[in-house]
Chain A
Amino acid sequence: MSEAQEARPLVGIVGGGVFGRALVRAASRTGEVVVWSRRAPSFDLPNVRVSTDVAQLVDAELVLLAVPSRYVSLALDTLGHHLDGGHLLVHVSRGLLDDELRTLSAPMRSLTPCRRVGALAGPVSADLLDAGTPGAGVVGSEFPEVVEAVRAAIGGPTLRIYASSDLRGVELAAALTGILLFTIGVAKRVGFGPGTIGALATRGVAEVSRIGEALGAKPETFHGLACFGDLIAAVGGSQRPEMILGDAIAGGASSEDALAQAGGSVEGIEVAHRVAAFCERRGINAPLITAVSALVSGRLDTATAVRKLMGRQLKRE
């Protein structure tokens, strides 16, 4: 073991899903890892300890939270009994919590005493982490040591971790990009060419950055890895569930069937209705997301959605 590996404090990972397991394997390359998961997955790695006892996380400095957003409150409630101000807490979720589009860092701060919190986002897939192919992600946090800790845990010669102080922007970008991925899935299925997809992606980013700005995020965050990077990865061929869902809906599948094809639960799409309602309430112009919400709930078919979007009044970019 090298000196650098010895110096890296214990990393805790919460969640044994696909992404959680990929994080474990990536972090095990740099040092000791403790995993807290109710599934108790097995890893044939000497420096990985798996436990169903949350107290095992107390010795970790960085704790990575890799559970779906609907289970986050439960997980944080439990973590809140054990963690303290010394822990650095980072989530990888793409979800939003409620009708006010609160991001996960809010309950991280209110249910635990942790303040040094962050979010990992961007085109960092489980495959990329596993294979160690070159890639990049972004950590949103106001605390430089949080970014440093994530870099030390999973960064390395093949994974560049960029820093952003706009935590809210990174979280919103990660969540709202899921909706844009759905539109790419639809466009590809319909047979639209690269020009259409380029226009869709660009105007989509403009729309979500508008929403982000209304929620206190910096618009430029949406032009980085957390949104644009993720979107280009999808166009380039990554098979995200949101795209599969879009593809299925455009192919005529019912909402339920499409969801089943996409794996049963798609975080990016679950928020579409809430985002559309929020935009309507706040008077934010969001034609694409309104169309996605209507498509997913079966209130609109693809052809009508395209006609409506293209028929809007023209304006300056």
Chain B
Amino acid sequence: MSKPAPKPKTSRVRDLLTKPIRLPQWFASKPAAHAPRIFGFNDERDMVIGEVSARVVAQNLSRGRASLEVLLNETAHHEIARLEKQRDDEVREWLGFWQKVVRKLARMSEAEQRQTLREVVEYMAQDIAGNFDPRVYNFALKTLPGLIAGVMSPRELARGAVMNSGRFALDKLIEISGHVDHFRNLAEVGTMVLVPTHSSNLDSLALGESLARSGLSPAVYGAGKNLFTNPIISFFMHNLGAYRVDRRVKARLYKQVLKAYSCVMIERGYHSLFFPGGTRSRSNMIESRLKLGLAGTGVEAYSRRAVRAKARGEQPRPIFFVPMTINYALVLEAESLIGDYLVEEGRARYIIEDDEFSQLDRWIAFLNRLVGYESACVLRFGRPIDPFGNLVDHRGRSLAPDGRIIDPVRYVSRRGEPVLDPARDAAYTRELGRVIVEHFRRETVIMTTQLVAHVLFRYLIEQTPGSDLFDRMRRRGELRWDHADFVRRYSETRDRLRALADAGEVHMSDHLRTDSAERALERAMGAWDGYHERTVVRLEGEEISLEDPALLLYYQNRLVPWAEGLAGSGEGERAAALEIASFGGAQ
């Protein structure tokens, strides 16, 4: 008999620091019957891991031995390449293991190869799987608003009224709008997949807070493994439903496990959250091309539910996608993001290690600036859709464009029978991505800072015909604009935006609807000054000086899809608007 497959070394220290730390279960009570599904997740965790592992192993074993050998070899080489760059405990634990796999692979029996695959897949699934502890959730709900409010206004902290004032301050700071009731109804009859726009690392906090405030169940979500390195953040992440996504791991097998985990969670009815753009929008443009990635597993999960339900003679429990927009008047990481966009010319780096999110002083400056800006963040729930992009009614039934009720199972059926078909589901996922982009646009809430920046940036383009974007970025403080002319152009542009909003093509924040042009400029400057390190716009007598074209570009980029419709009939303004519209590329 041949020797057993190589085993990885384990590290207790690393386990303690990075693996799920759970509170003792002695005082934990059983979740109530009406409690959200996720409250009982920890009881199911091992089953989920088992199901994920079994599915991925079966999927790979069905492709034959040659394919299995290629997969293990490829995984080993990817992992060795990654671990050789890393300098942490994981190297000691796994590098030797993978080196042995490469050395022994050709001599391994089929049984040994299968066993190696099982071990690796199970480890990956264990590493990815999250936790949810209702006690940690309740604790976080009570304290986080207070802590944020305390940072914003330390005097409140001194008065010892953190809990209430925190809640009050956050209520004022984050406005929730859109189809919240529809969401709440559907969460009772199906599984919700939230797909929001992504501008800032604050998005997760804003979302978590908004779901809780609206009385909605928390959702599971994937978080970058880099966020788990701090033991305190790691503790909260581990216990609030987050699962770990290690973006450094390039092995195909890891992606299979990740997708299987996400799919199994949705299939089992856990509401899930994905940022379908993958990473924060560097340019601040609304995401226009979505790969969906893990969110696409919602389509596969529905197909699997349909196949199982058919065998039982039932209708599958529905899955709903909810496009959401998170709209900020001021973005914490704006300077880093637009800098990255310009430097990388749009090639996204997934992790910016040293942006404003990691700097406490920038947080304080940012939050302080927002205190006087009510509804600085508007979180808007879009209309829920089924996995095939159809709108659904309040009972969760899919609707054809003419309002007729249709059966979503037909989308995954061939000759009347629901079937699994990964190629088909991948195509549905791409189609769903296009539909979500359309919803993103319609559900976008334009903020004052964005429209002010748009009018100013359009003027900059108008005054610098023939220049390229990078040339314009260098024109700091070179251009001045008569304040009265700005007021006229801004008012005209806002009227056009209002017409678009009235036609249902976009939304406007309350301030934007009601503020005069003069007040809007004051409001935008008030938000930018004192937070952004560089002055964005300066008012000098009767003239406006455009000081930072990069930040103007960043804030105005939210309006790219409507640039043509917002321009007047003047030749220069129209040409500038067309140039802005072209930033969005082919639609």
Contact = CB atoms under 8 A, between A and B. Distances in A.
A224 interface: no
A143 B427 contact: yes
B401 A113 contact: yes
B579 to A, nearest CB: 9
19 contacts: A9-B415, A84-B400, A84-B410, A85-B406, A86-B413, A86-B416, A100-B587, A109-B431, A111-B401, A115-B388, A116-B411, A143-B423, A144-B423, A144-B424, A213-B586, A216-B587, A281-B578, A282-B578, A282-B582
A81 B402 contact: yes
Contacts of B400: 80-81, 84, 112-113
Contact of A283 (B421, B424, B582): B582
Given A214-B586, A215-B586, A216-B586, A85 B407 contact: yes
Interface in A80-100: 80-81, 84-86, 100
Contacts of B423: 143-144
B142 interface: no
B411 A85 contact: yes
Nearest to A106: B434
A309 to B, nearest CB: 26
What is the interface residue range for chain B against chain A?
Answer: 20 to 34
A263 B410 CA distance: 41
Given A85-B407, A143-B424, A215-B586, A112 B388 contact: no
Contact of A142 (B411, B427, B578): B427
Contacts of B413: 86
B586 A115 contact: no
Interface in A203-232: 213-216
Interface string A276-296: 000001110000000000000
Contacts of B408: 85
A216 B414 CA distance: 30
B520 to A, nearest CB: 30
Contacts of B404: 81
A196 interface: no
Interface in B358-410: 388-390, 398, 400-402, 404, 406-408, 410
A224 B451 CA distance: 45
B587 to A, nearest CB: 7
A213 B414 CA distance: 34
A153 B487 CA distance: 63
Contacts of A109: 389, 431
B135 interface: no
A85 B410 contact: yes
Interface string A58-85: 0001000000000000000000110011
Interface residues of A, number: 26
The 10 closest A-B pairs by CB, nearest first: A85-B411, A86-B410, A142-B427, A216-B586, A113-B400, A85-B410, A84-B406, A143-B427, A144-B423, A84-B410
Contacts of A100: 587
Nearest to B430: A142
Given A85-B407, A85-B410, A112 B582 contact: no
A53 to B, nearest CB: 17
Contacts of A47: none
B427 A113 contact: no
A186 to B, nearest CB: 30
A145 interface: yes
B235 interface: no
Contact of A86 (B398, B402, B411): B411
Contacts of B398: 113
Interface in A18-74: 61
Contacts of B421: 145
Interface in B410-455: 410-411, 413-416, 421, 423-424, 427-428, 430-431
Contacts of B582: 282-283
Contacts of B587: 100, 216
Contacts of A86: 410-411, 413, 416
A133 interface: no
Contacts of B427: 116, 142-143
A265 interface: no
Given A80-B401, A84-B400, A115-B431, A145 B406 contact: no
A86 B416 CA distance: 8
A129 B96 CA distance: 64
B406 to A, nearest CB: 5
A110 interface: yes
Contacts of B428: 115
A214 to B, nearest CB: 6
Interface of A: 9, 61, 80-81, 84-86, 100, 109-113, 115-116, 142-145, 213-216, 281-283
Contacts of A144: 423-424
Nearest to B427: A142
Given A84-B400, A142-B430, A216-B586, A113 B406 contact: yes
Contacts of B388: 85, 113, 115
Contact of B390 (A81, A111, A113, A283): A113
A80 B402 contact: yes
Nearest to A112: B401
Given A116-B424, A213-B586, 5 more contacts: A9-B415, A80-B402, A81-B404, A86-B411, A115-B388
B504 to A, nearest CB: 15
Interface in B541-586: 578, 582, 586
Residue with the highest number of chain B CB atoms closer than 10 Å, among A9, A81, A113, A215: A113
B402 A115 contact: no
Residue with the highest number of chain A CB atoms closer than 10 Å, among B400, B413, B578: B400
Nearest to B434: A109
A85 B404 CA distance: 12
A15 B407 CA distance: 27
B283 to A, nearest CB: 18
Contacts of B410: 84-86
Contacts of A281: 578
Contacts of A115: 388-389, 411, 428, 431
B38 to A, nearest CB: 30
A204 B303 CA distance: 44
Contacts of B414: 145
Contacts of B424: 116, 143-145
Nearest to B414: A145
Contacts of B390: 113
Nearest to B390: A113
Interface in B264-305: none
B342 to A, nearest CB: 21
Interface string B23-62: 0000000000000000000000000000000000000000
A153 to B, nearest CB: 15
A80 B403 CA distance: 10
A148 B413 CA distance: 15
A216 B433 CA distance: 15
A102 B101 CA distance: 53
Residue with the highest number of chain A CB atoms closer than 10 Å, among B408, B411, B415, B587: B411
Nearest to B574: A281
Interface string B132-147: 0000000000000000
B111 to A, nearest CB: 35
A218 B415 CA distance: 32
A116 B424 CA distance: 9
Residue with the highest number of chain A CB atoms closer than 10 Å, among B398, B401, B587: B401
A87 B23 CA distance: 52
Contacts of A142: 427, 430-431
Interface in B60-90: none
Nearest to B407: A84
A119 to B, nearest CB: 15
